[in-house]
Structure 1
């Protein structure tokens, strides 16, 4: 069973960020600091095990901790980061959050872990209206399914989840916690609201 202290959390910063003008989203400035710093600040009180998945600017990301890149070429998206994490880390339970979500719940780790049972493959955050497919806690037993899924050329994250024993974790009391910033305009608007 997962508990906050035996889960490892990965910040996914490995994408191309095409909607952010190609700028590395985790390193884009928000309120004078790299966006990834806001995510780390939220996670650090919740877990001591944080690693970053990045395919660019790895030396810059290393100032924040351990960094690893995808094993699969051509930016396969969040699943590429999940695949790499399951190879890079040995933990049974690995959580994932995107680097462009600066307002994550302060009780994310404990609530995700508490929702799981022994047969849970994937726990996915739910904001009350939609699942948040990149805010997940997965058991490493999904690795064979994930590898087969990627080998088939599939990239749609939710299709993989449907092949697994997935549960959703209710965060409807914090619907704004999963705001993700994909464009310079969203970033600017969000910065004004801080």
Structure 2
């Protein structure tokens, strides 16, 4: 294929921070502090060396996100649909502003995301148009039990040409990521190596954010 060798410059990175934050009491999750910095900034800083242009999908506090992303030249883009329809709306906003052949989406609430996320997803792609990360499910593992690998569908590498397909799916009422990705050639990227145990640990609640602070390695200045 013509794009069998994809460089970082051919990938736009998009941090999804456009949700309601309902499980955090309605606060803007991406602006909550983790190790002294906003969650969304952690995601941006980890993603930036892996991709070319950067986007932040945000539906509130646009000025705060613009300031947050200024040093990394990250552009802020909002959902085109009202009422916080979910991650797929963030995908669609990212694709609408994507000027590269590929878009890599990540959530704002996973500040320990892999530093080789893009490379591992590309290595797993084959001829797929979509690559979905699979990592350890620490949130739902029970005490004394080892976590299981599960899909992390918001960590998604997308071919930019899928924009029209996604728009049709969403405007017809579709909201589930797997229902849309299942319509296309998809691949899995496994993150099951030593050191990946907390890579997809996220903070849906303020309590989880505090717990994540306890297990995270200290930030290097």
Name the TM-score, length of structure 1 as normaliser.
0.94
1:56: how far off? 0.4
Residue aligning to 1:126: 134
In the alignment, structure 1 segments of 5+ residues that lack a partner are none
Given candidates 173, 185, 204, the residue that maps to 1:165 is 185
Residue aligning to 1:191: 213
1:35: how far off? 0.7
Structure 1: distance between partners of 2:12 and 2:25: 31
Residue aligning to 2:55: 51
Structure 2: distance between partners of 1:45 and 1:148: 32
Given candidates 86, 100, 104, the residue that maps to 2:95 is 86
Given candidates 159, 165, 169, the residue that maps to 1:139 is 159
Structure 2: distance between partners of 1:48 and 1:105: 17
Name the TM-score, length of structure 2 as normaliser.
0.83
Select the structure of larger CA radius of gyration: 2
Aligned residue pair count: 193
Which segment drifts farther, 10-19 or 127-136? 127-136
Secondary structure in structure 1 of the residue aligned to 2:50: coil
| Root mean square deviation of aligned Cα | 1.3
Structure 1: distance between partners of 2:76 and 2:203: 22
1:102: how far off? 0.4
Bigger RCO (CA 8 Å, 6+ sep)? 1
Note the 1:3-22 alignment, pairs <5 A: 3-22=7-26
Deviations 1:9-37 (A, max 9, x none): 00000111100111111100112111112
Secondary structure in structure 2 of the residue aligned to 1:125: strand
**2:111 is the counterpart of 1:102:** yes
1:127: how far off? 1.1
- Of Structure 1 and Structure 2, the greater helix share is in 1
Given candidates 122, 131, 155, the residue that maps to 1:113 is 122
1:144: how far off? 2.3
The answer to whether the 8 Å contact 1:35/1:102 transfers is: yes
In the alignment, structure 2 segments of 5+ residues that lack a partner are 137-148, 217-221
